[in-house]
Amino acid sequence: MPELPEVETLRRDLSRTLVGRTILTATARIPKLFVEPPGPEILVGHTILALSRRAKFLIWELSGDLVMVMHLKLAGQIIHRDAEGRTIASGGHPVPGFTAPMPHKQTNATFTLDDGSTVYMTDIRQFARIRVLYAHDLPAFLRTYRLGPEPLTRAFSSRALAKGLSRHPRLAVKPALLDQRTVAGLGNIYVDESLWQARIHPERLAGSLSEEEIRRLARAIRSVIDHAVTNGVAEILNGRAAPEHAFPRVHGREGARCPRCRREIVKTRVGGRGTYVCGRCQPLPLSVSA
């Protein structure tokens, strides 16, 4: 569930509470959490210099030429509690709640810091992964993913999107967008939202989109991601946002009315993923569905 906006929001919040702190202890409950050596013990004594992000990777930049690269996958969550046990930063998957007692049985890693605070990493599905690298090896590590442009940077444009989609001309546009080489950081929710906003059916073949549609899609991706990052995605997903900011607009809203045309939102399956569309706003021409 954590996609670019969730990870970026988390990065910003943790930047305020973690930078300058030194790690006193680091433990993992599940050995496979740290994909390969070194394990968490190497982090002890290192100071957190900055937090950065690439696609859905959360990157802890540490003293001594180390980086810790986290991927929350579907259900990873991070909670930072101060010495009194108050949550001072949190993000990722909202279940269990950020106020739940920590640690609990799904707390898979724990980091204690020099100010008495503690960072808990939880993951009810155990898919999340952590990798510790030398900082000078990080660029090569990221290069192996051949990640596409970040949607909120100048590198992302309708031209860049067209180029990315041209890699999969015979593939449905939804799985093409989920490929991190096309655009970095999109996941199932934001792809559905972007396609709805651009009025493009997820099963349209990537190669069938007109230039105008690709422009619309690029604008939609940028605005959907920007909106989520700007407005604080966790609160939006918790339903606490104002109605005009209700989000998601289609994903997970089977049976609700399309906010644009009032037609019922239907759930389908595209590329093996649960997919939500408005049948009126996002037409699927017969010529490309055959």
228 within 8 A of 239, measured Cβ to Cβ:
no
Taking every pair of C-alpha atoms in the chain, what is the biggest distance, in angstroms? Answer: 63
Please report, for residues 157, 159, 175, 244, the alpha-carbon distance to residue 163 in angstroms, rounded to integers and kept in the order given: 10, 6, 15, 34
Contact 231, 88 (CB under 8 A): no
Within 13 Å of residue 283, how many CA atoms lie on the same side as its CB? 6
124 is a contact residue toward DNA (CB under 7 A): yes
Nearest residue to 131 via CA among 29, 78, 30, 57: 57
Provide the 3-class DSSP secondary structure of residue 253: coil
Residue whose C-alpha is closest to residue 160's, from 144, 143, 177, 174: 177
Known catalytic residue at 203 = no
Say which DSSP state 144 is in.
Answer: T
Per-position x/- string for 221-260, each x denoting binding to DNA as judged by CB under 7 A, each - no binding? ------------------------------xx--------
Region near DNA per CB under 7 A, out of 62-70, 134-142, 185-193, 234-242: 185-193
Binding residue for DNA (CB under 7 A) from 56, 80, 81, 201? 56
Please report whether residue 126 would count as binding DNA according to CB under 7 A: yes
Query: Among residues 11, 54, 56, 216, which one is catalytic?
Result: 56
Comparing CB distances to DNA, the nearer of 25 and 166 is 166
Among positions 10, 189, 221, 277, the unique one binding DNA when judged by CB under 7 A = 189
Residue nearer to DNA on the CB measure, 180 or 223: 180
Catalytic residue flag (residue 56): yes
Active-site residue flag, 2: yes
| Shortest Cβ 127–DNA spacing (Å) | 4
Binding positions for DNA, rule: CB under 7 A: 1, 3, 32, 55-56, 71, 73-75, 95, 105-106, 124-127, 145, 167-171, 175, 178, 180, 187-189, 251-252, 267, 271-274
